[in-house]
């Protein structure tokens, strides 16, 4: 995906989520994100590589935007497992989110588009359960 169309793609993704969520009563929806086996490519590719970071756990709540923000925040570039990133994805520099360094696109654009459509808020509180 070209950098020039990334924002439009994220806007379309948020609109698709909005349309889907209109079919459910808000009080009957819970969002769950499994932060395990995180790889540089989308699961839709049909193949995988080694995980980039150690398994983080499960994030759940009733605000999809907060869940997505927490998920991105918990994927810490400082915890990149050495040797797991294919050569073509070696992140330049040390600034920005791990996915931004790998793909050259800001993953928080998804959050901005979600907020713009009123899907939720990026604010969250983590409660750790063991």
Least confident of 22-31, 63-72, 92-101: 92-101
d(CA 61, CA 24): 16
Dihedral sign for Cα atoms in the order 122, 31, 113, 50: positive
- The confidence score (pLDDT) of residue 82 equals 85
Q: Indicate the pTM of the whole model.
A: 0.87
d(CA 55, CA 83): 16
Question: Quick one: tokens of 45?
Answer: 């590719």
Query: pLDDT tens digits for 39-77?
Result: 887 777 777 788 889 999 999 999 999 999 999 999 977
Stated as kind and residue range, the H or E segment containing 10 is helix 3-21
Separation of first and last alpha carbons in the chain: 39
């Amino acid at each position: 995906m070209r950098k020039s169309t990334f924002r439009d793609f994220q806007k379309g993704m948020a609109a698709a989520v909005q349309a889907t969520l209109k079919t459910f009563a808000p009080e009957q929806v819970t969002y769950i994100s499994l932060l395990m086996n995180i790889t540089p490519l989308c699961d839709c590719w049909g193949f995988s590589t080694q995980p980039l970071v150690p398994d983080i756990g499960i994030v759940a709540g009733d605000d999809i935007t907060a869940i997505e923000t927490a998920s991105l925040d918990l994927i810490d570039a400082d915890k990149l497992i050495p040797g797991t990133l294919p050569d073509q994805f070696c992140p330049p520099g040390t600034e920005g989110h791990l996915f931004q360094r790998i793909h050259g696109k800001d993953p928080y654009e998804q959050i901005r588009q979600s907020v713009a459509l009123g899907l939720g808020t990026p604010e969250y509180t983590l409660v750790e359960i063991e």
